[in-house]
C-alpha cells in the first residue's frame, strides 16, 4: 500500500493526469482451459504459439514504470520462460500478480522463490460447482485449491481472482469468501465479466444495473474477516454507491502485438511504445460516458479500479471515504439481505452458444 500511495502521490505532484498503476502483461495467449466467458484464446494457432521474450517483458515495464505488474494471458505458467520473467520483475522490485488457473502450479512451483513481490493470483470463479462450470472443466476447483495449499505451505503469497457472470448466486459467492478466508489466502479480487464478442458464451454477461444489484447483495452486510485485494472505493463502485469514469491508461496492456489500444478488453489497434499509446489513443472515445457501445456495460476491474485509486488521492473527501470504507464500514443493508433471499435461477452450464442477434447491451444507467 505504501508503494502505491507514494507512487500515486509522486504522479500527482508531477502533475501527470494519465499514469499507469498496473501493467497488464500478457506474455502469451495459450491456455490449458477454454472458459466460455473468455475472449482471449480465440486467436489462430500461429498467434497462440507466440510468446513474449523476457527482454520484451522487461522493456515494457521499464517503459511504463508502473509499480505493479499483473501477468494474465493465456495461462502464464505455460510460458517456457515464466520463471525468468518473474525473477527479472522481482529484481526490478515490481509487485507481481501472476494470474493462474493453478492447473500447473504444483508442477511449476520450483521455478519460483517466495518473495514479498510475488503473489500467485489464482483464478477461482466461486465454489466447486460454480467454478468448474465457469471454466468448463470438472475437477478444476479441487486442483486449484490443492495448489493454493501447496503454495501457502511453501511461504508464497496467494490471492484469488473471481469473475462473476449473470446467474451467479450471491449466497454461494459469500460462502466462497468464507471458504477462501479459511483456506488462508491473503485477499480476494472480484470483477464482473466483460462481454467479449469473441467469447463462446454470450448469454451470461451482466449489464450495469444487474451488476450493481448483484454486488450490493454480495458485498453488503460484510463479514469482518473477509479481505479484499481491491480498492474499497472500487467495491463501492460495484455496489452502485459511486460512479467513476473509466481510466483505461491506468492498467495498460502489453502483449505480442504491442501496446493495446485502449485497454485490456478492446483492440482498437496497437502502439509501439507506451508514450505512443498515451499520445495517439483517442481516449474520449472510451468509457461508459463516451457512448461507445463496447463500453456501455463495462464495470470491470481493469477499467475502473485505477479510477477508484485515483479518487482516493484526488481530494480529502476521497481519502477520508477510503479510510472509512477500510476501517469502519460493514455496509449494513436490509434490502441487500432481502436480495440474498431472492430465488436464484440454477446455474446453467456456460456452454450454450448464443445466436448472433442476442443483445448484450442492457443499459448505460
Query: Given the rule CB under 6 A, which residues bind ligand SF4?
Result: 246, 248, 262-263, 265-266, 286-288, 294-295, 298, 300, 302-303
| Gap between the Cα atoms of 152 and 211, Å rounded | 32
Q: Shortest approach of ligand SF4 to residue 268 CB, angstroms?
A: 9
Q: Shortest approach of ligand SF4 to residue 285 CB, angstroms?
A: 9
Helix (H, G, I), strand (E, B) or coil at 332: coil
Q: Shortest approach of ligand SF4 to residue 64 CB, angstroms?
A: 17
Q: Which of 157, 163, 161, 8 is nearest to 95 (CA)?
A: 157
Q: Shortest approach of ligand SF4 to residue 304 CB, angstroms?
A: 7
| Closer Cβ to ligand SF4, 282 or 344, answer by number | 282
| Gap between the Cα atoms of 190 and 203, Å rounded | 20
| Gap between the Cα atoms of 105 and 220, Å rounded | 33
| Gap between the Cα atoms of 137 and 130, Å rounded | 11
Closest CB to ligand SF4: residue number: 303
Helix (H) or strand (E) holding 187: strand 187-192
| Closer Cβ to ligand SF4, 211 or 302, answer by number | 302
| Closer Cβ to ligand SF4, 72 or 248, answer by number | 248
What is the DSSP-derived secondary structure letter of residue 207? P
| Gap between the Cα atoms of 220 and 222, Å rounded | 5
Q: Shortest approach of ligand SF4 to residue 46 CB, angstroms?
A: 26
| Closer Cβ to ligand SF4, 148 or 246, answer by number | 246
| Closer Cβ to ligand SF4, 200 or 262, answer by number | 262
Q: Provide the phi-psi class of 219: left if phi over 0, else alpha when psi is between -120 and 50, else beta.
A: alpha
Amino acid at each position: 500500500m505504501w508503494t502505491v500511495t507514494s507512487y500515486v502521490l509522486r504522479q500527482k505532484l508531477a502533475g501527470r493526469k494519465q499514469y499507469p498503476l498496473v501493467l497488464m502483461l500478457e506474455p502469451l495467449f495459450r491456455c490449458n482451459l477454454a472458459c466460455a466467458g473468455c475472449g482471449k484464446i480465440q486467436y489462430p494457432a500461429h498467434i497462440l504459439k507466440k510468446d513474449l521474450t523476457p527482454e520484451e517483458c522487461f522493456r515494457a515495464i521499464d517503459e511504463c514504470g508502473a509499480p505493479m505488474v499483473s501477468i494474465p494471458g493465456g495461462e502464464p505458467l505455460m510460458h517456457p520462460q515464466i520463471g525468468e520473467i518473474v525473477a527479472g520483475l522481482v529484481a526490478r522490485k515490481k509487485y507481481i500478480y501472476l494470474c493462474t488457473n493453478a492447473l500447473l502450479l504444483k508442477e511449476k512451483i520450483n521455478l519460483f522463490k517466495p518473495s514479498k513481490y510475488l503473489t500467485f493470483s489464482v483464478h477461482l470463479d466461486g465454489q466447486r460447482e460454480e467454478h468448474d462450470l465457469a471454466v468448463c472443466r470438472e475437477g478444476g476447483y479441487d486442483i486449484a485449491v490443492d495448489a493454493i495449499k501447496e503454495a501457502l505451505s511453501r511461504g508464497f503469497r496467494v490471492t484469488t481472482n473471481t469473475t462473476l457472470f449473470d446467474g451467479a448466486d450471491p449466497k454461494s459467492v459469500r460462502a466462497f469468501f468464507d471458504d477462501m478466508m479459511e483456506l488462508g489466502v491473503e485477499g480476494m479480487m472480484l470483477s464482473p465479466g466483460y462481454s467479449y464478442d469473441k467469447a463462446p458464451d454470450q448469454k451470461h454477461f451482466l449489464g450495469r444495473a444487474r451488476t450493481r444489484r448483484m454486488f450490493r447483495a454480495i458485498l453488503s452486510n460484510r463479514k469482518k474477516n473477509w479481505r479484499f485485494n481491491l480498492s474499497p472505493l472500487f467495491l463501492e463502485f460495484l455496489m452502485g454507491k459511486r460512479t467513476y469514469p473509466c481510466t483505461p491508461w491506468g492498467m495498460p496492456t502489453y502483449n505480442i502485438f504491442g501496446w493495446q489500444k485502449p485497454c485490456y478488453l478492446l483492440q482498437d489497434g496497437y502502439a509501439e511504445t507506451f508514450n505512443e499509446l498515451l499520445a495517439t489513443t483517442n481516449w474520449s472515445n472510451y468509457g461508459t460516458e463516451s457512448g461507445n457501445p463496447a463500453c456501455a456495460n463495462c464495470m470491470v476491474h481493469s477499467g475502473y479500479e485505477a479510477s477508484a485509486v485515483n479518487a482516493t488521492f484526488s481530494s480529502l473527501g476521497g481519502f477520508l471515504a477510503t479510510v472509512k470504507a477500510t476501517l469502519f464500514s460493514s455496509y449494513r443493508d436490509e434490502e441487500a439481505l432481502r436480495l440474498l433471499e431472492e430465488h436464484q435461477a440454477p446455474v446453467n452450464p456456460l456452454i450454450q452458444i448464443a445466436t448472433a442477434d442476442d443483445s448484450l447491451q442492457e443499459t448505460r444507467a
